[in-house]
Structure 1
Amino acid sequence: MESHLTFLYFAYGSNLLKERLQLKNPSATIHCVARLKDYNLVFGNHKGLASDRWHGGVATIERSSGAEVWGVVWRMNMADLESLDSQENVRLGAYSPVEVSVKTQGQELNCRTYIMNCCVYAPPSPQYLKVIVMGAEQNGLPKDYQEKLRAIQTNQYEGHLPMMADLERAMRRAKERANHRSDA
């Protein structure tokens, strides 16, 4: 795989979950787990406008000396860049793409990630937090970091989220494919 045809993307929110990221970005393959130093994971809404998709605050990162955010580095085809930018509402100005340097097993990688503009703090919905926690478990983020994620207070929203149905279908399909492979 030629590197100029791919890019590295550091995910720290709902895109930790492979099935979530691959809904619109099928080329994404896990590269490694990594740590971003001097940043903190926070939740909020762009200009205070709640996410229709998640009914609560969504993840972003902000500079914070001594803090750290764990996430997944995905290798993706350049062809998926526009789709990823669209998912992050870059054109609407909700998030800006930035280059960050993350640490993994003794090496540093430069990755694309996204930071919310005009963030107004707001707790996430339980459903959104669940997707993040599932992604952290799926990719083996450090146990203490997973505990920290589980302890985040939510807004206790209990309504229906179409995104959760999409994800559950994608996860069922992935499980069925895995079962077919093990039967062969």
Structure 2
Amino acid sequence: MCLQGFRLDFSHFSKRWQGAVATIVEDAEQHVWGVIWELDEQHRETLDNQEGVHQGIYRPLSVMAETPDGRRLACRSYQLAAPPGGDGRPSAVYKRVILLGATENALPDAYLRFLAALPDNGYSGDVDVGLDLGQT
């Protein structure tokens, strides 16, 4: 899916990922590619918890996304609410995870090249995905 009017950004350091984590930021001249997952309403709280909504790290955001066949869908996304911190670059390991997901979900080649060209902070060691999101 394509989300018009937003850009991908990295502005908050995550101890879990040893670098800045992804968010979307309003930008009328840009767009972000991603994937739409359909979940039952009963899983909303679980997803909110995974994204750190209760800790003020991300906030849910209602957006209109466009599918490759031109349909517009109302979707729930997450936007970083935590204050900026760190140098604004993802770790190499986090960047690889994002690029792998984009590749596996067949996002456009131009967007894959954009993701691959993002500067990272060079950290490619171990990460602790079980670490609480609130720990910085």
Note whether the superposition's TM-score is higher than 0.5: yes
| Residue 141 (1) aligns with residue 107 (2) | yes
Q: Which runs of 5+ in 1 are unaligned?
A: 1-33, 164-184
Partner of 1:41: 8
Q: Tell me: higher relative CO, structure 1 or 2? Use CA pairs within 8 A at least 6 residues apart.
A: 2
Once the two structures are TM-superposed, the CA of residue 162 in structure 1 deviates from its matched residue by: 3.4
Query: Counting helix residues as a fraction of each chain, which structure ranks higher?
Result: 1
Once the two structures are TM-superposed, the CA of residue 136 in structure 1 deviates from its matched residue by: 0.5
Question: Aligned partners of 1:92 and 1:132: how far apart in 2?
Answer: 23
| Amino acid corresponding to residue 70 of structure 1 in structure 2 | W
Once the two structures are TM-superposed, the CA of residue 106 in structure 1 deviates from its matched residue by: 1.4
| Amino acid corresponding to residue 78 of structure 2 in structure 1 | Y
Q: Which runs of 5+ in 2 are unaligned?
A: 130-136
Q: Which runs of 4+ in 1 moved over 3 A?
A: none
Which protein has the larger Cα radius of gyration, Structure 1 or Structure 2?
1
Sequence identity (%): 38
3-state DSSP of counterpart to 1:54 = coil
Question: Aligned partners of 1:64 and 1:126: how far apart in 2?
Answer: 25
3-state DSSP of counterpart to 1:74 = coil
Partner of 1:177: none
TM-score of the superposed pair, with normalisation by structure 2: 0.88
Partner of 1:117: 81
TM-score of the superposed pair, with normalisation by structure 1: 0.66
Q: Is the 8 A contact 2:92 2:120 kept in 1?
A: yes
Q: How many residues align?
A: 127
| Residue 107 (1) aligns with residue 74 (2) | no
| Amino acid corresponding to residue 71 of structure 2 in structure 1 | Q
Once the two structures are TM-superposed, the CA of residue 83 in structure 1 deviates from its matched residue by: 1.4
Partner of 1:69: 32
Q: Is the 8 A contact 2:8 2:24 kept in 1?
A: yes
